[in-house]
Amino acid sequence: GAVVSQHPSWVICKSGTSVKIECRSLDFQATTMFWYRQFPKQSLMLMATSNEGSKATYEQGVEKDKFLINHASLTLSTLTVTSAHPEDSSFYICSAFSGRRGLMNTEAFFGQGTRLTVV
């Protein structure tokens, strides 16, 4: 099946610094990718929809200036956590759909996730 690769799998950074997480679709093109955040023992919460060649669409309550999303190509989306603070520590997961949108045979493929720890 299709593969989505996320990098890095874990990162530790100091407060105030920025961290970039990459999400790549390895064998298919994805005009849309999704970024989720997961707290311990909590559900995956959709943060934003990354659209190739246009601005990302953020969910309510997500700071777009803090979580910068760039989707410059059909196979790569990046999430940059700017001026990170300890409360940003979390598990971040990206996904992309393979297949034509609107059809029932589309399927979401997920990256392995990135564990961010801000100290």
Partner 1 sequence: GNSVTQMEGPVTLSEEAFLTINCTYTATGYPSLFWYVQYPGEGLQLLLKATKADDKGSNKGFEATYRKETTSFHLEKGSVQVSDSAVYFCALTQGGSEKLVFGKGTKLTVNP
Among residue numbers 40 through 79, which ones bind partner 1 (CB under 8 A)? 41-44, 46, 49
Q: Burial, 38: exposed, middle or buried (Cβ in 10 Å; 0-12, 13-18, 19+)?
A: middle
* Residue closer to partner 1 (CB basis): 73 or 106: 106
Q: Give CA separation, 26 vs 29, 39, 77, in Å.
A: 8, 27, 12
Among residue numbers 13 through 32, which ones bind partner 1 (CB under 8 A)? 32
In angstroms, give the least distance from the CB of 85 to partner 1: 24
HSE-CB of 25 using CA atoms within 13 angstroms: 25
Residues of this chain that bind partner 1 (CB under 8 A) = 4, 6, 32, 34, 36, 41-44, 46, 49, 93, 95, 97, 101-102, 104, 106-113
